[in-house]
Amino acid sequence: MIDKYGPWAVVAGGSEGVGAAFAHRLADAGVNLVLIARKPGPLAETAASVRAKGVQVRTLELDLVAPEPLKAVREVTDDIEVGLLIFNAGANSYGHEFVTGDLDRFQDVIDLNITAQLALTHHFAAPMKERGRGGILLVGSLAGYMGQAQISVYSAVKAFGRVFAEGLWLELREHGVDVLELVLGVTRTPAMERAGLNMDIPGLNVADPDDVAREGLEHLGDGPVRVAGGNYEAAQKRSGFPRAAKVAGAHEAMKRMLPAASGG
């Protein structure tokens, strides 16, 4: 892996959950890490645990919706060769009915999941193309396969991410750069738990962060899209027609996870 995707990897959203799992697996493979996250405590804890595995680790405490996030990222990466970008920072930061919601908060969801993702991908993909090797892994969501109440904007930006990954894959595949969108379903992460999701519904497929991180890295060369955690059939069903029946049925299922219908 280090020959193809090293010597450094940048993990945006690398402090906990799936991001931390990516960090540990890359450290086990000998890849040095730049971990970016908002929360200093989990960021420092993950950095220390992966540094103990013998790799170099740099950290950047950064909210990617802040002005000019790329400037801060460049300050800690311009002197190293980054062969892998993992963008795992696109959690839903605001769930609310659209017409009564705060437009600025919706803009934050767009800036995190689209604007920041494009900025980092544009910056790191160009030298990868020139070197003829590297990888871009964008973490997506099953939410992007169907519009959902309370998280309509989040679902929309995740749909953008998948289509973007497909186009980028076409552009870079002949230049030795792998592109993959790793689509996650319900995953037992601290963020999901903080959102109050009921993950104990009988029959609900709940993935483990380490399992989906392993799957993403193992299939990085199998782009443009990999639906992780055994959710391939769910993605297929969400892509079908007629849309009214599909959307309404998924909405009823979601309400069982979120009794208060507060998003997440």
Mind listing the pLDDT tens digit for each residue in 65-103? Answer: 999 999 999 999 999 999 999 999 977 768 899 999 999
Look at residue 263 and tell me if it is in a domain: no
Look at residue 56 and tell me if it is in a domain: yes
Look at residue 20 and tell me if it is in a domain: yes
d(CA 56, CA 6): 12
Look at residue 177 and tell me if it is in a domain: yes
Look at residue 77 and tell me if it is in a domain: yes
Is 154 among the catalytic positions?
A: yes
What percentage of residues in the chain have a pLDDT greater than 70? Answer: 90
Catalytic residue chosen out of the listed positions 5, 154, 237, 246: 154
Per-residue pLDDT, averaged over 188-208, amounts to: 66
Instruction: Note the pLDDT of residue 99.
Output: 97
Averaged pLDDT score across all residues of the chain: 91
Catalytic residue chosen out of the listed positions 53, 129, 158, 237: 158
Look at residue 215 and tell me if it is in a domain: yes
| Chain mean position to CA 84 | 14
Total domains in the fold of the chain: 1
pLDDT beyond 90 at 139: yes
3-state DSSP call for residue 188? coil
Per-residue pLDDT, averaged over 56-61, amounts to: 98
Q: What is the pLDDT of residues 153-168, one digit of tens each?
A: 999 999 999 999 999 9
Instruction: Note the pLDDT of residue 199.
Output: 59
Instruction: Note the pLDDT of residue 259.
Output: 43
pLDDT beyond 90 at 195: no
pLDDT beyond 60 at 262: no
d(CA 20, CA 16): 5
Per-residue pLDDT, averaged over 199-226, amounts to: 89
Look up the pTM and report it.
0.91
Q: Which H or E run includes 130?
A: helix 116-131
Look at residue 153 and tell me if it is in a domain: yes
HSE toward the beta carbon, residue 218, CA cutoff 13 A: 8
Structural domain boundaries enclosing 251 = 2-257
Nearest-CA neighbor of 160 among 174, 150, 145, 182? Answer: 145
- CATH number of the domain enclosing 144: 3.40.50.720
Spell out the residues 6+ positions from residue 247 whose beta carbon is closer than 8 angstroms to its own: 146, 147, 148
Per-residue pLDDT, averaged over 166-185, amounts to: 97
Look at residue 262 and tell me if it is in a domain: no
Per-residue pLDDT, averaged over 146-155, amounts to: 93
pLDDT beyond 80 at 191: no
